[in-house]
Amino acid sequence: MSHELTADEIGIVLSAAVHAPSIHNTQPWRFEVQGPVIDVLLDEQRMLPLEDVSGRAAHIGVGAAALNVRVAAAMLGHESRLAVHPDPARPEVTARVFLFGRSAPIAGLSSLYGEVTRRHTYRGPLLDHPIPAQVQRQLDDAAHYEGAGLHWLDSAARSGLRTMLRQTDDLELHDEDRLHERHTWIGGDRSLDGVPQNALGPSPVRPALVRDLDAGFDSAQRSQAVFETDPSIVVLTTRDEDATAWVRAGAALQRMLLTATSYDLAASFLDQLLEHPEPRYQLRELLGGRTWPQMVIRIGYPAQSLPHPGRRDWRDSLDRWF
């Protein structure tokens, strides 16, 4: 049977891809399909020059989209392999998924397909239920499969993180240029990209370990809620620190998040700690100094449901199909 995708299958695979998480829902990807090869390109028009100076976060989004391509392809019966920066002559090709022989749905990845549209970033309060150790191990395995590690923070480390967050949030509130960039993507009514106000969730009555992306901008219109006092925090790390490691981190993040969704867990992120060099360095030291933190993830069982941000149609991101 052919390794190539039919037109319908391309729609299935690319609509899975665009459901990936991306910083501020910028969706910084473009696609090209050539026979059994699906390329994900970084869209430089959709990057954040101030909040994501190095492009780390945008590369993570591309890696997450590539993982979703593999999950949908597995559901269609394709073995696949991910190559990062496969073509030196075309550095804009950030991730390439090669599809191989087709048979029954591929065990493992294909079982995550049902979670692709269920997974969403959840910034509301969490229930006070611990995550069972056996579920934590499944999440560890999901990240390991894609070459990343997970560090579950103990209470001393969480307390260190709280102090770092207070300092970083203070920096953020006084950086007009960054706030201006953020508000081109966050708040108000938005349907195709960016994060609309209703997806931000309630603002915490007391300081909580959740990032308030709105940073006081639209706060008059937001409800308030009491948040959990001490959520589980897990940091996704890589051994290397370069664009290839960021894409691999994105694939690991997405595999871990889809696995978490299958256990009805929900996550949000504290990316501000990684966007400034000083807290990122402090966090690296907190984790032993040998790995690079790529995502700081608050994870648990959601106490309510919240609206989700929308997506552009996958056809708007398909540059070439031949």
Ligand X SMILES: Cc1cc2nc3c(=O)[nH]c(=O)nc-3n(C[C@H](O)[C@H](O)[C@H](O)COP(=O)(O)O)c2cc1C
Residues that bind ligand X (CB under 6 A): 21-25, 57, 60-61, 120-121, 123, 195, 211, 213, 268-272, 308-309
Q: What does the alpha-carbon distance between residue 186 and residue 196 come to, in Å, rounded to a whole number?
A: 6
Tokens encoding 313:
């149609």
Q: Across-strand partners of 233?
A: 298
Considering beta carbons, is residue 99 or 296 the nearer one to ligand X? 296
Considering beta carbons, is residue 68 or 98 the nearer one to ligand X? 68
Tell me how far, at minimum, the Cβ of 24 lies from ligand X, in Å: 5
Residue nearest to ligand X (CB): 21
- Name the residue with tokens 């959709």: 46
Provide, for the chain, the percentages of residues in helix, strand and coil under a 3-state DSSP scheme, each rounded to the nearest 5: 40, 20, 40
Considering beta carbons, is residue 204 or 309 the nearer one to ligand X? 309
Considering beta carbons, is residue 36 or 203 the nearer one to ligand X? 203
Q: Across-strand partners of 126?
A: 302
Considering beta carbons, is residue 121 or 291 the nearer one to ligand X? 121
Tell me how far, at minimum, the Cβ of 22 lies from ligand X, in Å: 5
Q: 277-286 and 155-173 are packed helices; what angle lies between their axes, rounded to 10 degrees?
A: 180
Tell me how far, at minimum, the Cβ of 79 lies from ligand X, in Å: 26
Tokens encoding 238:
């890589």
Tell me how far, at minimum, the Cβ of 259 lies from ligand X, in Å: 15
- Chain center to CA of 240: 19
Q: What angle do CA 294, 137, 261 make, to 5 degrees?
A: 70
Tell me how far, at minimum, the Cβ of 13 lies from ligand X, in Å: 18
